Structure 1
């Protein structure tokens, strides 16, 4: 997998005109995330292991002094120096590098997964903030509407067409709405802290969310086939490849090892004889071969690798089933959100029509403020449900994009 893979634009197709603000938050979250930074360091460590394995075994250097000097034809031997270097079989170092690289790539896939999960969490928190803010705006408008009705009720009381009880009911209802708004404000501050923590910044920083969102006329095109490219599945492919490389390395390490060396022996001159090689030092090149005769360890590692490959295949199949279930559920809930939004839109329009009828009734002096409260409560219910439908739609769109975006 290429390191240039970018996962910041998951939600652009679903967000449409709302993507710009969220996109900036997504970029900031990825840049500031300590989790991702730690994983990138772990990936760099894994990459550095490629250089670590690209080395030969330690060179062996030995020195000895003959306490009892052995006599040779050219003179007594005084000391011995030796140097030996073992060399792994051809291709062994390359196999080690390939195995280390495969493990590093597995670490990189984990980074891609972490980025996706972080982006999804940021988006979900963002939509929660939007829904909270939208509900506060709706409550403000309903409080203003009740204030208008209260003035109508006071006027009606003055002319004897309404009672003070109607005014008190309207005021009580206003108090309830004000309470709901204050509760929402506290919930907004709590969610804002969650959002800022995801961006790894001060909890008190104000978060800007779009003022209005709506469900698009048509859903973005989704290709379920790209589900197989989700990093959560690619992780298993990379783990499988690392096991393949592990087995290739295991076979290479079962091959013989070559050794080359040099012995140097110092020789003293013989005093009782005079000849051309008298006291000539000895220089002896050496070659050795290390053969693994007992291969039980290699056979055991091979068997373990085979079992590990089967395990990874089963884990990938199980994870694919989980992701497919999540995809089907997200698509279903997004469709449910669209249906609910359409229904709430119709209900809200009918509630407004009923409100207009009540207003016209006031002109004839027959307004019933109990009906006013009922209609107002219905309008608030439909408006709140409409906001929740929008929130659900975009949350499920974010999940879908998490699952299928390349």
Structure 2
């Protein structure tokens, strides 16, 4: 791991700057963040009790009592949920907020992966352009040698033309890469939420790490895509606890006040005394199968979530195995092209020595140049693929 960290330290800071900028400016991240903020606020919403009922009535026909006629009725009543219901409601809202927070984490990791992939693609293009420039300069050197050989009758004008045609082909490849770079740069700027044509700088070179990072498939268990299912499972558990609380009776307290008119036809104790009546009420869900149905739904939902998690784990394991294989293939290709380049350089040295003795063959020069260019471009592609696959592995395994 240390070898890999040290090998990419020069470019990781530059790449990390783009990743941080993308996360800060991304509308998609803001969308998930706002969704999480809303879910968090629902925890406060959950702390509520039923509205207080206040009622008033006037007797059109005043009923007579022993102490006088009743004129009106004023009532106030407050229902209260069963003990622990509000706490269960808050816990459920909090578990849903936790699930939404994992979505924020997943979105950030996916965005970081996309930025990394575009970054390494831009590196590949610009590294190839640099190699093309070097090969064009090399061909120009061979062209001057060919012109000198033509003057002394050791080469023909056809050799010069072939070298010039080859330079034109390399210039074309370089211009095509420039157009590809513009497209990738526009896509990366889109992730950074800025103007499509703003310049993006990448490192000049990358090195193949000496050793690969050691991996364990057990680390997949910390991937947020799997943690999301754990949070959803927990939210269903909290939903069931809330359902059990809501299935309990509700109880309420109240007070009735009835003003009474004094009787004028006699004088008695408590004449015209107002009536004050405290009340207690309770609601019992006797004939309601709703809560039993919700319990069954929650059980089925948890089974569904567990199946989804197992399915996703299988997919992540497959993705990780394939990515490790592709990363290993990239290293093999890189090392092979390194050997090929060393042998091609030896062949080039032989050609240069032959030129010193006056027996250079420019057909061989072009063949060697094409081989060198082929090996260099393939080596750059292999290096890019190694870092892209490493970024995918980082997405899959790092918590």
2:278 alignment counterpart: 285
**Partners of 1:187 and 1:405 in 2: how far apart?**
31
1:385 alignment counterpart: 378
Structure 1 length-normalised TM: 0.96
Aligned partner of 1:218 among 211, 215, 219: 211
Contact 2:47 2:89 in 1 (8 A): yes
Structure 2 length-normalised TM: 0.98
- Offset, 1:15: 2.7
Alignment of 1:199-214 (within 5 A): 199-214=192-207
Aligned-pair Cα RMSD in Å: 1.1
Note the alpha carbon deviations across 1:133-187, whole angstroms, 9 max, x for none. 0000000000000000000010111111111111000000000000000000111
**Partners of 2:274 and 2:33 in 1: how far apart?**
57
Contact 1:15 1:394 in 2 (8 A): no
**Partners of 1:221 and 1:197 in 2: how far apart?**
34
Contact 2:7 2:208 in 1 (8 A): no
**Partners of 2:334 and 2:153 in 1: how far apart?**
42
Contact 1:61 1:84 in 2 (8 A): yes
2:38 alignment counterpart: 45
1:64 alignment counterpart: 57
Unaligned 5+ residue runs, structure 2?
Answer: none
- Offset, 1:199: 1.0
Unaligned 5+ residue runs, structure 1?
Answer: 1-10
- Offset, 1:12: 5.3
Aligned partner of 1:145 among 126, 138, 143: 138
**Partners of 2:317 and 2:164 in 1: how far apart?**
51
Task: State the SS of the aligned residue for 1:267.
Answer: coil
Alignment of 1:6-405 (within 5 A): 15-405=8-398
Note the alpha carbon deviations across 1:299-331, whole angstroms, 9 max, x for none. 111111111111111110010000001111111
Contact 2:150 2:157 in 1 (8 A): yes
Task: State the SS of the aligned residue for 2:259.
Answer: strand
Note the alpha carbon deviations across 1:86-127, whole angstroms, 9 max, x for none. 100000111100100000000000001001100000000000
Task: State the SS of the aligned residue for 2:287.
Answer: coil
Shift in CA distance, 129/364, structure 1 to aligned 2, threshold 3 Å: same
**Partners of 1:75 and 1:160 in 2: how far apart?**
140
- Offset, 1:275: 2.1
Contact 2:8 2:207 in 1 (8 A): no
Note the alpha carbon deviations across 1:15-50, whole angstroms, 9 max, x for none. 333211111111111111111111111101001111
- Offset, 1:222: 2.5
Q: How many residues align?
A: 396
1:4 alignment counterpart: none
Task: State the SS of the aligned residue for 2:75.
Answer: strand
